[in-house]
C-alpha cells in the first residue's frame, strides 16, 4: 500500500516537474516566435519603404514628363497648331493613377505575404512543441510506471471522469 502511495507521489512530482518544464519551454518558444515575427516584420517594412521610395521616384519622373508635356503644349499653342492638349494630360494622369494603384497592390501583397509567413512559423513551432511534449511524456511515464501501475492510473482517471 505504501509503495503505491510512493509511486503516486513520485508520479505527481514528475508531472508537476514536467508541467513546470513545458511551461518555461513554451515561454521560450513564444519569445522565439515573437522575435522571429519582429525580424520578419522589420524586413518587410524595409522592403515596403524601398518600394515606396521607388514609387516616389517614379511619380517624380512622371511629374517631370507631365511638365515637359505642358511645355510642349504651350509651345504648340503658340505655333497655332490645333492639337488636343487634354490627350496628353489625361495620358499623364492615367500613368500617375496606374503607378499609385500598383504601389498599393505591392504593399498589400507584402503585408499578406508577411502574415502568411508568420502564421506558418507559429504553426510549425506549435507542431514541434506538441511532438516534444508527447515524446518526453512518453519517456517519463514509461520509465516511471510498470504495467499494473499504468492500468491502475488509467482506471483511476476513468473513475474520476465518470464521477464528474
Look up residue 112 and give its three cell numbers. Answer: 499578406
The answer to whether the CB of 22 falls within 8 A of the CB of 133 is yes
Position 19 scores a pLDDT of: 87
Position 164 scores a pLDDT of: 54
In this predicted structure, the answer to whether residue 145 has a pLDDT above a threshold of 80 is: no
Average pLDDT (30-39) is: 90
Average pLDDT (59-79) is: 87
CA distance 96 to 66: 10
pLDDT band at 123 (very low <50, low <70, confident <90, very high): confident
Average pLDDT (110-125) is: 87
DSSP annotation of 25: H
pTM: 0.34
Q: Output the 3-class SS for 44-82.
A: HHHHHHHHHHHHHHHHHHHHHHHHHHHHHHHHHHHCCCC
In this predicted structure, the answer to whether residue 104 has a pLDDT above a threshold of 70 is: yes
CA distance 43 to 32: 16
In this predicted structure, the answer to whether residue 50 has a pLDDT above a threshold of 90 is: yes
Planar angle of CA 87, 70, 78, nearest 5 degrees = 100
Amino acid at each position: 500500500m505504501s509503495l503505491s502511495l510512493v509511486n503516486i507521489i513520485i508520479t505527481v512530482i514528475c508531472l508537476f516537474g514536467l508541467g513546470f518544464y513545458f511551461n518555461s519551454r513554451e515561454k521560450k518558444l513564444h519569445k522565439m516566435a515573437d522575435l522571429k515575427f519582429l525580424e520578419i516584420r522589420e524586413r518587410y517594412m524595409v522592403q515596403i519603404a524601398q518600394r515606396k521610395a521607388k514609387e516616389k521616384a517614379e511619380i517624380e519622373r512622371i511629374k517631370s514628363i507631365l511638365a515637359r508635356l505642358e511645355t510642349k503644349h504651350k509651345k504648340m499653342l503658340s505655333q497655332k497648331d490645333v492639337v488636343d492638349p487634354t490627350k496628353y494630360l489625361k495620358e499623364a494622369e492615367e500613368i500617375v493613377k496606374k503607378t499609385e494603384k500598383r504601389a498599393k497592390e505591392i504593399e498589400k501583397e507584402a503585408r499578406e505575404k508577411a502574415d502568411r509567413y508568420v502564421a506558418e512559423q507559429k504553426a510549425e513551432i506549435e507542431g514541434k512543441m506538441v511532438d516534444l511534449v508527447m515524446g518526453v511524456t512518453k519517456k517519463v511515464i514509461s520509465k516511471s510506471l510498470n504495467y499494473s501501475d499504468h492500468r491502475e492510473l488509467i482506471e483511476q482517471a476513468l473513475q474520476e471522469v465518470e464521477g464528474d
